[in-house]
Chains A and B, each alone.
Chain A
C-alpha cells in the first residue's frame, strides 16, 4: 500500500479536462512539495510538475499542478491521445529517513 493515495484509473475524451488527485498526510504533502511524473507505455518516467505547480521546460502548459493542505492535484486540459499514460505523484516524507514516497499511480485512458 502506497503512502500517497491516487485513484487507480481516470479517463476522458479528447479536448476534455481531467484531474488526478493525490492524498497524503501532514508528514509528506502537508509539509513538503509535490512532484508529478508521466510514464508512457514501455518507457521510463518523466518529470511533469515539480514544487507543486512548476513545469520544466518542454512540458506543455496543458499540464498544471496544485496543492492544498495534505492533498494535491494534477490537471490536464485539452486532453490528447498521447496523454494516455500512467501518472505518479511524489513527496518527501519527514517520518522516513530517506527518499521520497510515491503514489500508487493513476492510469489515464483517452477514450
Chain B
C-alpha cells in the first residue's frame, strides 16, 4: 500500500526557519515525482513545486519560486519543504502528493497534511 506520512504540526515565529518532511513507502520512491500543495485557511489548493527524487530535478510554481526550497533524500525515501524565514502569511496546511502519469498527470496519493502556524 502506498503511503505518504508527513511530519507533525509546527508553530513558529516570524523570521524563523522550518523544514517539514514527507516519507514515502509502498512504492519506488525514486521513480515518481513528488510535490507540495499549500492550502491556506478556508482557501483552495495551490501547487508549490515538485521534485523527481531519482535525479533531484526540481520545478517550482512561479508564485513560490525563491520563497521555499524543495529537496529529497532518496536514501530514506523522504521529501522536504523548507523555509529560511517564515512569514505570518505562510500559515497554512501543507500536503505532499505523489504524481502519476496515465495519458496525463494526476495526484495518485496525498499525505495527511502538516499544519504550519506562524505567529508572534
Q: Contact residues of A with B, CB < 8 Å?
A: 2, 32-35, 37, 44-47, 50-52, 54, 56, 86, 88, 90-92, 96-105
Interface flags for B16-41 (1: CB within 8 Å of A; 0: not) read 00000000000000000101000000
In the complex, whether B45 has a CB less than 8 A from a CB of chain A is yes
Which of B7-15, B72-80, B82-90, B109-117 contacts the other chain?
A: B109-117
Q: How large is the interface on B (under 10, 10 to 19, 20 to 34, 35 or more residues)?
A: 20 to 34
Output the least CB separation between A34 and chain B (Å): 8
Question: Is B119 an interface residue when CB atoms closer than 8 A count as contact?
Answer: no
**Least distance between A93 CB and chain B CB atoms (Å):** 10
B106: which of A47, A96, A97 is its contact (CB, 8 Å)?
A: A47
Interface centre among B45, B62, B99, B113 (most CB of A within 10 A): B45
A44 touches B104 (CB 8 A): no
Alpha-carbon separation in the docked complex, A46 to B110 (Å): 7
A45 and B61 contacting across the interface, CB-CB below 8 Å: no
Expressed in whole angstroms, the Cα–Cα distance for A34 and B106 within the complex equals 8
| Pairwise interchain contact B106-A33, C-beta atoms closer than 8 A | yes
Among A47, A54, A100, which residue has its beta carbon within 8 angstroms of that of B47? A100
Q: A98-B49, A98-B61, A99-B49 are in contact. Are A44 and B110 (CB under 8 A)?
A: yes
Taking the closest CB of chain A, its distance from the CB of B49, in whole angstroms, is 6
What are 23 contact pairs spanning A and B, CB under 8 A?
A32-B104, A33-B106, A35-B107, A44-B95, A44-B110, A44-B111, A45-B107, A50-B100, A50-B104, A51-B106, A54-B102, A56-B108, A88-B45, A91-B104, A92-B105, A98-B60, A99-B47, A99-B50, A99-B99, A100-B47, A100-B105, A100-B107, A105-B45
Shortest Cβ distance from B107 into A: residue? A47
